[in-house]
Amino acid sequence: MNTPVRIAPGGFRELGPLNWLIAKIGARAIRTPRFSLFTVVGQHRLMFPVWLPLSAYLLYGGKLSRRDAEMVILRVGHLRECEYELQQHRRLARSRGLDAALQARIFEGPDAEGLTNRERVLITATDEFVVTRSVSPQTWAALARYYSKPQLIEFCFLAAQYDGLAATITTLGVPLDFPD
């Protein structure tokens, strides 16, 4: 999907000093001159610093393994056809042990050859959550065999966060950060 840019990335004046600083630190962390998501969403000066801690917790400090979190995020990005989300998280996923072959299997879906049972259940649960806005009793029971109650709660928040983020990115037309 190629949505036109509806809110262009902003600079210091549009972001204000705090959000501009956060966006600059974020850009340095992902090794790009501009972190488009932050320079667009950061134009909502009050919401951005409130949203950021939850997002950071889910991405870096949650109870799900970073590997499992990236599997969910990649699958959501694929289902929502959000190239921005995919571009960011293909890179991050590689650093978390998800090589190109595993990423291809994630995009193929839960029936892809070479997935573990745990990976199949996680991808199936993500598909159901994103497509039906829930998880079937059978899939939930399978997911609960692998994850604790706090992890199950976090799974729901992670999938919802990245589903909503994909919709926001696509609707606003956030430009890609990397030319590839």
Q: Token match 């996680």: residue?
A: 122
What pLDDT is stored for residue 3 in this prediction? 74
What's the CA gap between 83 and 170, in Å, rounded?
Answer: 9
What pLDDT is stored for residue 2 in this prediction? 63
Q: In sequence order, what are the residues at sequence separation of 6 or more whose Cβ sits closer than 8 angstroms to the Cβ of residue 138? A: none
CB burial class (10 A; 0-12, 13-18, 19+) of residue 53?
exposed
CATH code for the domain of 158: 1.20.1290.10
Domain of 54 in residue numbering reads as 12-60
Name the DSSP letter for residue 175: P
Q: Is 67 within the bounds of a domain?
A: yes
Q: Is 40 within the bounds of a domain?
A: yes
Pair of tokens at residue 69: 């979190």
Q: Does residue 147 contact residue 157 with C-beta atoms inside 8 Å?
A: no
Q: Whole-model pTM? A: 0.94
pLDDT averaged per 10 residues, the chain (length 180):
85 97 95 95 96 95 96 98 96 94 98 97 98 97 98 98 97 90
The number of distinct structural domains making up the chain is: 2
Residues 87 and 166 occupy one common structural domain: yes
Q: Does residue 1 contact residue 81 with C-beta atoms inside 8 Å?
A: yes
Q: Is 20 within the bounds of a domain?
A: yes
Pair of tokens at residue 179: 């030319």
Residues 46 and 87 occupy one common structural domain: no
Residues 93 and 150 occupy one common structural domain: yes
What's the CA gap between 13 and 59, in Å, rounded?
Answer: 28
Residues 19 and 101 occupy one common structural domain: no
Residues 36 and 102 occupy one common structural domain: no
Residues 52 and 73 occupy one common structural domain: no
b/e sequence 139-176, b meaning 16+ C-beta within 10 Å = beebbeebbeeebbebbeebbebbbebbeebbebbbbe
What's the CA gap between 116 and 87, in Å, rounded?
Answer: 25
What pLDDT is stored for residue 179 in this prediction? 74
Residues 123 and 71 occupy one common structural domain: yes
Q: Which helix (H) or strand (E) holds 19?
A: helix 12-30
